[in-house]
Amino acid sequence: MTAPVTTTQTPTPGPVGEPFEPLILGFTCNWCSYRAADLAGTARTKYPHNVRLIRLMCSGRMEPEFILEGFAKGADAVIMTGCWPEDCHYRIQSVKALRRFLFLRRTLSDLGIEPARLQRFYASAAEGQRFADEIARIVAEVRALGPIQPEIRVALDGHPVAPAPAAEPVEVEA
């Protein structure tokens, strides 16, 4: 499916000259990636502030609705993290998260949200550094991507969340 037709406007929120700071929602597994985040903390490993984490018992708890809620409420990207499939605390549940991730990423892409805005990585409880590195990588990627196209996220009035040009009928090429 082709991407939706984009508007000509360039969204540039925030004060001129300041770099775009994305807001990123991250989901963690209680047994691995949350502990990896703990370990990054204990080891004072620095990573960008842009990510806000939620703890689930398992990455397999992830409902696609949580991710959509994140995007709907202003997240510029969402990260799913969990156990390495071979190390899953619940044995085989990490792979269910993988399946939902792939299904959702395709669907989001068809809805106009770039694949890079839904990311995932594995981090064991011992991989604090990896956790920090991956967060830094994703923040940089999303920062380069800029905010979500205002066309995509729709407010209750039916208008894009960021003000779009008035919907004047325009002539378009057939």
Partner 1 sequence: MTIQAIEPTEAIAPTEAEGVSEGVAKPRYKLAMYWASACGGCDVAVLNLGMKLIEFTERWEPVFWPAAMDAKRQDVRAMEDGEIDVCLFDGGIRTDEDAEMAHLLRAKSKVLVAFGSCAGEGCIPGLANQRSIEHVFAAAYDPELNDVNGGLPNGPWESPYGELELPTLSVRLRTLGQVVDVDYSVPGCPPETERIAEVLGAVTAALDGTGPLPPKGAVLGAGNSTVCDECKRERGVKHITEFKRIQTLAEIDPTLCLLEQGLPCCGPATRDGCGAKCPAAGAPCIGCYGATQGVNDFGARLLSAYASVVDASEPEDIERILAGLPDTVGQFYRFSLAASLLHGGRS
Partner 2 sequence: MTAPKIGVYICHCGSNIASMVDVEGVRDWAASELADKGVVVSRDYPFMCSSLGQELIENDIKEYGLERIVVGACSPHMHEKTFREASANAGLNPYLAELVSIREQVSWVHTDKVKATEKAKAIIAGGVYRVHEQVPLEPLIAPVNSATLIVGGGIAGITAALEIADAGYPVHIVEREPSIGGHMAQYDKTFPTLDCAACILTPKMVDAGAHPNITLHTWSEVVDVSGSVGDFKIRVKHKPRMVVEADCTGCGICIEKCPVQVIDTGFEAGIGYRKAIYTPFPQAVPKYPVLTPDDCTYFAKGTCKACEKFCPVDCIDFTQTDEFVELTVGNILLATGFQPFDARRIESFGYGRLPNVFTSMEFERMSNAAGPTGGKIVLRDGVTEPKSVTIIHCVGSRDKNTNEYCSAICCMQSLKFAHLVREHTGADVYECYIDMRTPGKGYDEFYNRILDEGTQFIRGRVAEVTDSLRYPEEEGHEGRLIVQVEDTLAGVKRRIPADMVILSTGLEPQPDATEVARMFGVGCSTNGFIIERHAKLAPVATMTDGVFAAGATLGPRDIPTSVSNGAAAAATILSRIAQGQIAMEPYRATVDAARCSGCRICNDLCPFSAITFDEAAMVTEINPKLCQGCGVCVAACPANAISGSGFSHDQIIAQIDGLLSYPGGGDGRPVEEAVGATA
Where on the chain is the footprint of partner 1 (CB under 8 A)?
1, 4-7, 63-65, 67-69, 71-72, 85, 95-96, 98-100, 102-104, 106-107, 110-113, 151-160, 164, 167, 169-174
What is the nearest approach in angstroms of partner 2 to the Cβ of residue 35? 7
**Binding range to partner 2, per CB under 8 A, among 1-9, 78-86, 109-117, 163-171:** 78-86
42 binding partner (options partner 2, partner 1, none; Cβ < 5 to 8 Å by kind): partner 2
136 binding partner (options partner 2, partner 1, none; Cβ < 5 to 8 Å by kind): none
The secondary element (H helix, E strand) that includes residue 56 is strand 51-56
Alpha helices in the chain (DSSP H): 33-42, 64-72, 94-110, 128-145
What is the nearest approach in angstroms of partner 2 to the Cβ of residue 32? 7
How far, in Å, are 38, 114, 121, 154, 161 from residue 43 at the CA level? 9, 33, 20, 41, 39
Site for partner 2 in 101-130 (CB under 8 A): 124-127
Q: Binding of partner 2 at residue 82 (CB under 8 A)?
A: no
Question: x/- string (CB under 8 A) for partner 2, residues 34-63?
Answer: xx-xx-xxx-xxxx-x--xxxxxxx-xxxx
Integer-rounded Cα radius of gyration of the chain: 18
DSSP 3-state assignment of 96?
helix
Whole-angstrom Cα distance, residue 1 to residue 143?
A: 26
Q: What is the DSSP letter of 155?
A: -
DSSP 3-state assignment of 86?
helix
Q: Binding of partner 2 at residue 152 (CB under 8 A)?
A: no
